[in-house]
A = this chain, B = another copy of it.
Amino acid sequence: MSGRISIIGLGPGNILQRTPQATQVLEQVTDLVGYGPYVQRVEAPHHVIRHSSDNRVEAERARHALEMASAGRHVGVVSGGDAGVFAMASAVFEQVQLGPDTWRTLDIEVIPGVSAVLAAAAALGAPLGGDFCVMSLSDNLKPWLVVLRRLQLAAEAGFVIALYNPRSQARPWQLGEALLHLRQFVPLHTPVAFARAIGRPDEAVRITSIEEADADLADMSTLVLIGCAASRLIERPSGHQPWFYTLRSVVAE
C-alpha cells in the first residue's frame, strides 16, 4: 500500500516556532485533516484538499485519514504544539490497531513540534528545571478520581505539574477542585502560572501561588504550571513579571 500519513506538530501560535521539517511536509501533502482552525490557518499549496472537523471527533478524523491514505493519498494530520502530546498521534495509532491489517503497511510518520508546555515554560523562565509531569485535566477520557489521584502522587513525588485542558465551557469546575486538592500536598506559597495563548498576539502570562490561584484565570487556551518545593520566583524591576524557575537540585521541603 503506497499511501502515507504525516502527523504534524505545528508548534505554538508563533510560526517562527514551527520546525522547517513540519513546513516541508506541509508542502508535500495532498490532503489536510484536523481541527478546523488549524486546518484552515495552515499554509499549504492550492491543490491541497482541506478536511476540517470538530474538536471532539478525533477517532472519526483518524479513520478518515487512514482511509484516504489507503487510497494512495498523502494525508497531513495537523495538531497545534506537538502531535504526540494530547493531540492526534495517539488517535491515529488507536484506529490503526482497530482497523484492517492493511493499515499496518501504511507509511505513517510523526513530525515532532515545540509543545505548548515547552513554549509556556520558555515564556516564564525555567519552571521545568527538575523532574516534571504533563497531565490533561479533562475527565472526558479518564475518571475524575484518577485525575485527583494522579495530582496527589505527582505532588508527593515533587514533580512540577503541567496541566493541559484545564477548563472549558463543558468542564467549568474541575480546575478549581484540582487546585484545592493540591493545596493539601504542596506548600501554599508554591508558584502557579497561567500561560494563555503563548506565541499568539493575545499571549498573556499570570504568576501567582497555589494559595491565591484563581481557576477563573484559565480558559481553553491556557496551560497551567504548578511548581514544586524547588521552584522559585525572581522579582524584577517594576513592569516586569517575575521569572519562574525550578532548581535543578532536589531540596528538602
- Asked if B129 and A132 make an inter-chain contact with CB atoms under 8 angstroms apart, the answer reads no
Q: Which residues of B contact A91 (CB under 8 A)?
A: 248
A251's nearest neighbour on chain B, judged by CB, is B142
Q: What sequence of 0s and 1s flags, for each residue 149-188 of chain A, a beta carbon within 8 Å of any chain B beta carbon?
A: 1100110111100000000000000000000000000000
Task: Tell me, yes or no, whether A38 is within 8 Å of chain B by CB.
Answer: no
- Asked if A96 and B248 make an inter-chain contact with CB atoms under 8 angstroms apart, the answer reads no
Smallest beta-carbon distance A211→chain B, Å: 22
A-side interface mostly: mixed
Task: Tell me, yes or no, whether A208 is within 8 Å of chain B by CB.
Answer: no
Smallest beta-carbon distance A130→chain B, Å: 8
Q: How many residues of A contact B (CB 8 A)?
A: 78
Copies of this chain assembled into the complex? 2
Within 8 A of B (CB), among A181-201: none
- Asked if A131 and B125 make an inter-chain contact with CB atoms under 8 angstroms apart, the answer reads no
List 8 additional A-B contacts (Cβ < 8 Å) besides A97-B232, A110-B126, A128-B134: A16-B20, A58-B248, A90-B129, A108-B243, A110-B121, A150-B157, A153-B157, A154-B157
A-B CB contact pairs (8 Å), 7 listed: A17-B20, A83-B126, A84-B121, A84-B127, A104-B237, A118-B118, A134-B134
